[in-house]
C-alpha cells in the first residue's frame, strides 16, 4: 500500500452514487390492479419513519408497476433468497405491460393479509403497504407506503436478519447482474457509562485500526527500523512504536469523533 492513502482515490461519474448506496435487500414489489397482477424487483427502497411505520420505493415513471400502484394505492414487498437469484434478474428485464410475469413464471402466490397484491412463495419476508403519498423525484416516483402487515420466516428473520442458514439470507444487489449475500453477523461493543464517551470512541478506533493488516505491517516495519538503530547503537525514540493513540494513527485533520447519544445507539 502506498504511504499516502489519498493517492489511491479515484473520481467516478455522479451516477455511481446510486451503486455506492446500493446493497440493501432486493425486494420484489407485487401489485394487483383491475384484475391484473404484476411483480418487479426494486432496490431503491428505504425505511422513512418508525411511528407511523413508513417505507418508500422509488419507481421510474415508465415502470408498469408504477402505473398499477398509482391506481391500486397499495403494494407488497417480497424478499427473495438466493434460490430466486435468476428469477429476480429475469423479472427486472421485462415489463408487466406486455406479459403477466406471475402467470408466465407459474409462480405460486398466497393471499396477503391487508392488501390485494399477491405474496410470492419462496420468499423469506413480506411487507404489505398502503400508499400514503406519491412524491415526484426526478425521473422516479417515490411511493410512500404505510406498513400494514409484516410476515417473516422466523429462521430467516427474528429481531433482525439472522444469517445463520445460507438458504434464507436476503439477496443484495450490487448493480448490473451482480448480487451478494451477507456472510455473517458481527456484534459491536457498545460504549458503557462514561464521563468521556469521545475518549472511549477514540481509544476503540485506535485499537481496531491498529489490529488492521496495514497497521500491523507498519508497526513491523517501524520495529525493524528501531531494531536496526539499536544494533547500530543509535539513540532511538520509543514513542514511535505507538502503544496507544499516537503517531501510528491519528484522526485525519478535521475529523471530529462523534458524541454518541442514547437515542443513536440503537440504529
Ligand X SMILES: Cc1cc2nc3c(=O)[nH]c(=O)nc-3n(C[C@H](O)[C@H](O)[C@H](O)COP(=O)(O)O)c2cc1C
**Site residues (CB under 6 A) for ligand X?**
26, 38, 40-44, 58-60, 63-65, 88-89, 92, 94-97, 173
The 8-class DSSP code of residue 162 comes to -
Q: Report the distance separating Cα 23 and Cα 42, nearest Å.
A: 11
Q: Which residue is nearest to ligand X (CB)?
A: 92
Query: Which grid coordinates are listed for 128?
Result: 404489505
Q: Are the CB atoms for 37 and 102 separated by under 8 Å?
A: yes
Picking from 85, 135, 267, the residue whose alpha carbon sits closest to that of residue 190 is 267
Q: How far is the CB of 1 from ligand X (least distance, A)?
A: 33
Q: What is the DSSP string of 189-255?
A: PPP-S-S-HHHHHHHHHHHHHHHSHHHHHHHHHHHHHHHHHHHHT----GGGG-SSSBTTB-PPTT-
Question: Residue 95 burial by CB count (10 A; 0-12/13-18/19+): exposed, middle or buried?
Answer: middle
**Residue 53 Cβ vs ligand X, minimum distance, rounded to whole Å:** 20
Question: What's the CA gap between 44 and 24, in Å, rounded?
Answer: 8
Question: Could you tell me the smallest distance in angstroms from the CB atom of residue 95 to ligand X?
Answer: 3
Which C-beta is closer to ligand X: that of 143 or that of 249? 143
Q: How far apart are CA 213 and CA 216, in angstroms?
A: 5
| Least gap, CB of 54 to ligand X (angstroms) | 17
Q: Which is nearer to ligand X, 157 or 173 (CB)?
A: 173
For ligand X, which is the closer residue by CB, 40 or 206? 40
Q: Which residue, 130 or 140, is less far from ligand X as judged by CB?
A: 140
Q: Which is nearer to ligand X, 92 or 245 (CB)?
A: 92
Alpha helices, DSSP H only, in 113-191? none
**Residue nearer to ligand X on the CB measure, 63 or 119:** 63
CB of 41 to ligand X, least distance (A): 4
- Rounded least distance, CB 172 to ligand X, Å: 9
Amino acid at each position: 500500500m502506498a504511504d499516502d492513502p489519498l493517492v489511491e482515490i479515484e473520481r467516478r461519474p455522479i451516477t455511481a452514487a446510486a451503486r455506492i448506496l446500493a446493497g440493501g435487500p432486493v425486494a420484489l414489489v407485487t401489485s394487483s390492479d383491475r384484475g391484473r397482477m404484476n411483480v418487479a424487483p426494486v432496490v431503491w427502497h428505504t425505511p422513512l419513519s418508525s411511528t407511523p411505520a413508513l417505507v418508500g420505493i422509488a419507481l421510474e415513471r415508465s415502470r408498469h408497476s408504477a402505473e398499477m400502484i398509482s391506481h391500486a394505492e397499495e403494494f407488497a414487498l417480497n424478499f427473495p433468497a438466493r434460490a430466486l437469484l435468476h428469477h429476480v434478474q429475469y423479472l427486472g428485464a421485462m415489463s408487466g405491460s406486455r406479459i403477466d410475469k406471475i402467470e408466465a413464471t407459474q409462480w405460486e402466490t398466497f393471499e396477503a393479509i391487508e392488501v390485494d397484491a399477491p405474496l410470492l412463495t419462496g420468499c423469506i419476508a413480506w411487507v404489505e403497504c398502503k400508499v400514503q403519498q406519491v412524491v415526484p423525484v426526478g425521473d422516479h416516483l417515490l411511493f410512500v407506503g404505510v406498513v400494514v402487515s409484516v410476515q417473516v420466516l422466523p429462521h430467516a428473520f427474528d429481531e433482525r436478519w439472522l444469517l445463520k442458514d445460507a438458504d434464507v439470507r436476503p439477496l443484495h444487489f450490487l448493480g448490473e447482474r451482480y448480487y451478494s449475500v451477507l456472510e455473517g453477523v458481527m456484534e459491536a461493543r457498545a460504549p458503557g457509562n462514561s464521563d468521556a464517551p469521545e475518549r472511549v470512541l477514540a481509544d476503540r478506533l485506535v485499537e481496531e485500526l491498529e489490529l488492521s493488516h496495514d497497521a500491523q505491517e507498519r508497526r513491523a516495519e517501524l520495529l525493524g527500523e528501531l531494531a536496526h538503530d539499536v544494533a547500530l547503537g543509535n539513540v532511538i525514540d520509543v514513542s514511535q512504536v505507538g502503544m496507544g493513540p499516537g503517531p501510528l494513527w491519528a484522526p485525519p485533520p478535521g475529523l471530529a469523533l462523534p458524541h454518541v447519544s442514547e437515542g443513536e445507539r440503537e440504529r
